[in-house]
A and B are shown apart, each in its own frame.
Chain A
Amino acid sequence: MNPSASAPNTSGALQPLSGTTRRLAIWLFLLVTLKSIFLGSFVIPPADIPDESGHYAYVKDIAHGNIFPLLGQATIPNDLWMDPVDKRPSPLPRTNYIVQHPPLYYAIAAIPYKIASLITDDRWYHIRATRLVSALCMGLLVMVIFRTLLDLRIEPAKAVLLAMSVAFIPTLTNLSAGITNDVFLALVSAMATRHFIRYLLDHRLQDAYLCALWLTVAGATKMTAWIMIAAMVAILLFELRLPWRRWLLHAPLISLVSVLAPLWWMGRNLYHFGNPFYIGITDSVKAALPHLTVEQFIHADSFFYPMLVSFYGLFGFSGYCQTPELAHLCIGTRLTHITDYPFLYFALVILVLALAFLWLTVVHGRQLAQPSAPLHPAATLQEWMTNLLSNRALRVVLIVSAAIAGTAGYLWVWPQLHLEEGLREEPFINAILLIPLILGPTALVLAVLSREPSDRLVHYGLLVFVFFGLIFLTQVFKAYVLVAQMRGIQGRYFYPYVPLLLASSALVLEKLRVPPHAYLWAVLGLAVADIYTYAQKVIPFLETVKV
């Protein structure tokens, strides 16, 4: 196999997009949007999206003029979804922990809410109008990913299939039917990713600034996006193709644009709470397990399996509560997870992609360990580093060391991971999701050494994903030390990273010359798995849990 020979034509012209394919793509995006609107209007009950009560209360606060509700003061009213039997204000109002998030999504969602509330007093329409934002974001997300793949010179037919694959992740389609900032964030991240990729391929300064702008928009949506800002801006600066004087001007400016919103939100948190990263957890909480080691942590409880399950198929929340008379039965949340055939098929697709990444990494590693062509003068930090590491022996040492480090990490971690009794597929899920651990160090080295932008993009996608995964795991570890429980293992936190990872995957599949049938059957399988999930599990679940 010679991946270089089969590399997509990333330096050439865009793949021509026929009128038929364009029309089909537009119809598909419209259908995705309409499906989300249908789900949000008739299938998913109000409050049945994770934390939807908090999200909706935040939207209503803004619509009613409280633009910046303060964490600790903002509340979730008890007449949010229905009129309570007892009309008096609740003596113990629930604190709205969702106002920890920056307000951009909520300010946008307040617009359709406000319009609906001016037209009618019917609460049904207020809720559905507010839910429209996520549904529209879902269709736009698929469209932006499609355009990004076209920018990567991926054949349009393949780009349609790959972009549509995100529309068959049941948790994502569920979220797209509700009031939540997750789908909006995924869309904004996709926009940032598109300009990130365009800059790496074409080196137009405008794209670097637009990437930074979308990153700051992402930062104004959710704090988890701040990690993406750090990773993407670091790569942008590493790839910034400018004379050094201009580099010194634009690098700080691009960085500044990307962190404008996070800086503002940090300043606000610092002003009100004395902590720029405040999310409502006080530092005075006494750690339940102060001496816990990482080894003990990964052995104590499952992490990867519930994370992938919630990434793929998590449904329900508190929408089961339908009657005010029986509010005393509405305590806590009621959830269901998709862990049967659709999930296993999805895990299989992930496995194939992970093995494709692994195979391409081996091929790239072998290629970059060969004697290289004569060097050109460096125009970017990346090229300067490549030239600096041009010595073949040094390259071999770096690549082999990274591969050994990744493999050793994998072999050390995998046997230590907690296994839930009776959960036979958990070791395999762990084995699949740990593959990025092997690839992470090698991806770092290969991204520095590769001369072809599309090669570097493959590794950057993986690197950003692994970077976020490690920080996420660190946060879960910190929470575990505090409360001795796995907290916040939500696969949806990875959605903003999906567009870049999907772009990297598209390049991997192109380079490995994966036959068209494989694309088609993989995506059709995901589509059938999605409808199976709703017909077999979700709708009967929603039917049976109502109180």
Chain B
Amino acid sequence: MNEFRPTPRSIAAMVALMAVLLLFMFYPVIERYENEDVLTKGIPWAGMRPAGEITPDFRLRQNLRTEHTQLEPHELDNVFCMDVLFATYGRRRNDGLIRLRVTAGDATNEQLVDVKNLIDNSLELICFPGVTFAQVYQRDAWIDIEGVSAAPGKSVTAVLSSTAGLPRATVNGAETDLTLVYVAKIRKDPGLYKFNSFVLIAFASLILTLLMVAAQPMFKGRPANAG
């Protein structure tokens, strides 16, 4: 009987061809996976109060220490980000810059935010390249918020919460019994998810190839399959 005998080389070539075909189909989908922000800590909005208008003479300092996480060890080195809650004093047209600086050990990074782009009572996502979550995790880290060029009557305010049991903010050097409302995040690299998809495509390439090879005897006339 004529048994169908694919060679390893022909199977390898088919797997490669199938992988190319599947990548052609799915790479545009996988490439669109976006950076994902994963929450690591959140301050409840309870008992909200304005911190004060962020003008050049204003300075707010908040401890960001995070004690717990279930992130995988390799995820700790992702960029540290924060959603900070701002209020714009109603629909007032504001203008100017404010500065947010995160300091964690030797690492520091500051970002300037244009207050005219901020929305009233909304969280604004700010990432701090150069500061990783690992540098904030179980260590003292600080955020400083201060005005740069936003004039009085033209700036915004951060929001403080009265939720108990949290590290307290200092405003203009004075201790408060309030905490800055923010959500700590990491900006996660979607590389892991892309890798998972590529591995699944590799599985699919192998399976599709072997299925096609296994199906060959059906088309060769019986009984090519007889051993």
Contacts and interface: CB of A to CB of B under 8 A. Distances in A.
5 contacts: A15-B225, A16-B223, A326-B40, A531-B26, A543-B190
B179 to A, nearest CB: 14
Contacts of B207: 28, 31-32, 35, 164, 167, 527
Interface of B: 3-6, 22, 25-26, 29-30, 33, 36, 38-42, 66-71, 190, 193, 196-197, 199-201, 203-204, 206-208, 210-219, 222-223, 225-227
A10 interface: no
Interface string A366-404: 000000000000000000000000000000000000000
Q: Which are the 10 A-B pairs with shortest beta-carbon distances?
A: A516-B218, A18-B227, A531-B204, A24-B214, A157-B218, A16-B226, A160-B214, A82-B70, A35-B203, A535-B26
Given A157-B214, A519-B215, 7 more contacts: A21-B214, A28-B207, A155-B218, A160-B215, A516-B218, A531-B204, A535-B197
Contacts of A536: 26, 29
Interface of A: 15-21, 24-25, 27-28, 31-32, 34-35, 38, 42-43, 82-83, 85, 155-158, 160-161, 164, 167, 322-326, 329, 516-517, 519-520, 523-524, 527-528, 530-532, 534-536, 539-540, 542-544, 546-547
B211 A524 contact: yes
Contacts of B33: 539-540, 543
Contact of B225 (A85, A156, A324): A156
B214 A19 contact: no
Nearest to B213: A24
Q: Which of A322, A524, A532 has the most CB of B within 10 A?
A: A322
A525 B199 CA distance: 19
A52 B108 CA distance: 42
Given A28-B214, A326-B42, A527 B208 contact: yes
B134 to A, nearest CB: 15
Contacts of A517: 219
Contacts of B41: 323, 325-326
B136 to A, nearest CB: 13
Contacts of B26: 531-532, 535-536
B28 to A, nearest CB: 10
A18 B2 CA distance: 10
A27 B203 CA distance: 12
Contacts of A524: 208, 211-212
A286 B165 CA distance: 45
Contacts of B219: 516-517
Q: Which of B4, B197, B207, B210 has the most CB of A within 10 A?
A: B207
A31 B206 contact: yes
A155 B225 contact: yes
A21 B193 contact: no
Contacts of B211: 28, 160-161, 164, 520, 523-524, 527
